[in-house]
Amino acid sequence: MRKIEIFDTTLRDGEQSAGVNLHIHEKLEIAHQLARYGVDVIEAGFPASSRGDFEAVQLIARQVKSCTIAGLARSTERDIDAVRDALREAASPRIHVFIATSPIHMKHKLNLTPEETLETAVAAVRYAKRFCADVEWSAEDATRSDWDFLVKLITRVIDAGATVINLPDTVGYTTPEEYGNLFRYVREHVPNIDRVKLSAHCHDDLGMAVINTLSAIQAGVSQVEVTVNGIGERAGNTSLEEVAVALAIRKDYFQAETGLHLEQTIRTSRLVSKLTGMAVPPNKAVVGANAFAHESGIHQDGVLKNPLTYEIIRPEMIGLTSNVMAIGKHSGRHALREKCKELGLQLDEQEFNRLFRAFKDLTGKKKEITDDDILALALESSSEA
């Protein structure tokens, strides 16, 4: 099994979600939970961007010792100095420097020629390397960059001391096959590529962040950059829990695993949702409220006989105590009987039949049937006897 390292950027790219502004102590609480979850790297922030970010990275570096702590820097000495200073007390620090490499970004954002971009990137990595053994280099907008230009850049930044090469799909533009092929191309054409780790970083603008990340894993990357609940700029980043659980459930297919304690998944998701104020959609894979809820009679009957009929993920795996039998208009007698047992109702067959009819009537008037509704109906059904 290949080990895939989890680089969590909830506190940096995730915090760039519109409307999210975490307090320093909330960031620390999330960082401690990420460490408990077992992520390998926490990108704690972008120290040059604000005093608050600097202090949050510094505090996390001081207190969270079981994972690598990374800070982001543009390719300037000022930004790199800020990361160096914020990470002084980290047990395992990483400076993460980036520069945009696509024609549109170089021309319209950086106002640099490709040659100037290359020299700036190499100088930044060389400068960062003076302070930190572990230097990650990212080619922003890599998926809209020229592949041969990337090969040239990557070869040079590795020679300058980069230890991790990240090729972000910054605008969520790539497709699974194309993204996998980009990594294959780089592995084939960069002569010193064996000296570094390759990393994938995807955004979800076309809803493909998770599948693009999985495709990069198949193409040989050993680090993936993700956020809890997939929060992040615009449509968000690759969702940590979806990648982690996909690798765990389809180990046979991906032949790769993470070091995560998956039973911390729900707790981590709920904490991030609560502190960021970003609700998790009920139908979200793995962590949505409905991800383990069965409503239709056929499904409920199957799951009550053997959960594996309709559940590929056991709820306990991600830290839930059980699945949910949602009681609604699609539910059948089997599920209602289980609900009665759970509520401690003892009904004879006639009473149960009356209750079932009353319950079906109620589903015509009400979307969600609560435990209190069932209790009230059961009382009526037994008093009719």
8 to 27, contacts with Zn ion by CB under 5 A? 13
Query: How many Cβ atoms are within 10 Å of 102's Cβ, its own excluded?
Result: 23
User: Which residue from 242, 344, 348 is spatially nearest to 286, judged by alpha carbons?
Assistant: 242
Query: How many Cβ atoms are within 10 Å of 314's Cβ, its own excluded?
Result: 14
Q: How far is the CB of 13 from Zn ion (least distance, A)?
A: 4
| Under rule CB under 5 A, residue 351 binds Zn ion | no
Phi, psi of 84 (to 5 degrees): -55, -50
252 is in an annotated binding site: no
33 binds, among ligand KIV, Zn ion, none (CB under 5 to 8 A by kind): none
Q: How far is the CB of 139 from ligand KIV (least distance, A)?
A: 8
Looking at beta carbons only, is 13 or 40 nearer to Zn ion?
A: 13
Looking at beta carbons only, is 46 or 292 nearer to ligand KIV?
A: 46
Looking at beta carbons only, is 56 or 374 nearer to ligand KIV?
A: 56
258 binds, among Zn ion, ligand KIV, none (CB under 5 to 8 A by kind): none
203 is in an annotated binding site: yes
Alpha carbon distance 82, 80 (integer Å): 5
283 is in an annotated binding site: no
Alpha carbon distance 58, 221 (integer Å): 29
Alpha carbon distance 213, 127 (integer Å): 30
Choose the stretch contacting Zn ion; rule: CB under 5 A; options: 6-14, 62-70, 312-320, 334-342. Answer: 6-14
Q: How far is the CB of 171 from ligand KIV (least distance, A)?
A: 8
Question: How far is CA 31 from its chain centroid?
Answer: 14
Quick one: DSSP state of residue 372?
H
98 binds, among Zn ion, ligand KIV, none (CB under 5 to 8 A by kind): ligand KIV
Alpha carbon distance 71, 130 (integer Å): 16
140 binds, among ligand KIV, Zn ion, none (CB under 5 to 8 A by kind): ligand KIV
Looking at beta carbons only, is 173 or 356 nearer to ligand KIV?
A: 173
Q: How far is the CB of 325 from ligand KIV (least distance, A)?
A: 41
Looking at beta carbons only, is 73 or 219 nearer to ligand KIV?
A: 73
User: Which residue from 76, 68, 22, 74 is spatially nearest to 43, judged by alpha carbons?
Assistant: 68
Mind giving me the DSSP string for 72-123?
Answer: EEESSHHHHHHHHHHTTT-SSEEEEEEEE-SHHHIIIII---HHHHHHHHHH
Alpha carbon distance 41, 237 (integer Å): 16
156 binds, among ligand KIV, Zn ion, none (CB under 5 to 8 A by kind): none
Give, in order, the Cα–Cα distances in Å from 192 to each of 105, 186, 310. 26, 10, 47
Looking at beta carbons only, is 26 or 140 nearer to ligand KIV?
A: 140
| Under rule CB under 5 A, residue 242 binds Zn ion | no
Residues in the site for ligand KIV, rule: CB under 6 A?
Answer: 13, 98, 138, 140, 168, 170, 201, 203
Beta-bridge partner residues of 292: none
Q: How far is the CB of 253 from Zn ion (least distance, A)?
A: 27
Inter-residue contact 102 to 145 (CB < 8 Å): yes
111 is in an annotated binding site: no
241 binds, among Zn ion, ligand KIV, none (CB under 5 to 8 A by kind): none
Question: How far is CA 196 from its chain centroid?
Answer: 23
Q: Residues at the annotated binding site?
A: 13, 201, 203, 237
Q: Which residues would be at the binding site for Zn ion (CB under 5 A)?
A: 13
Q: Residues at the annotated binding site for Mn(2+)?
A: 13, 201, 203, 237
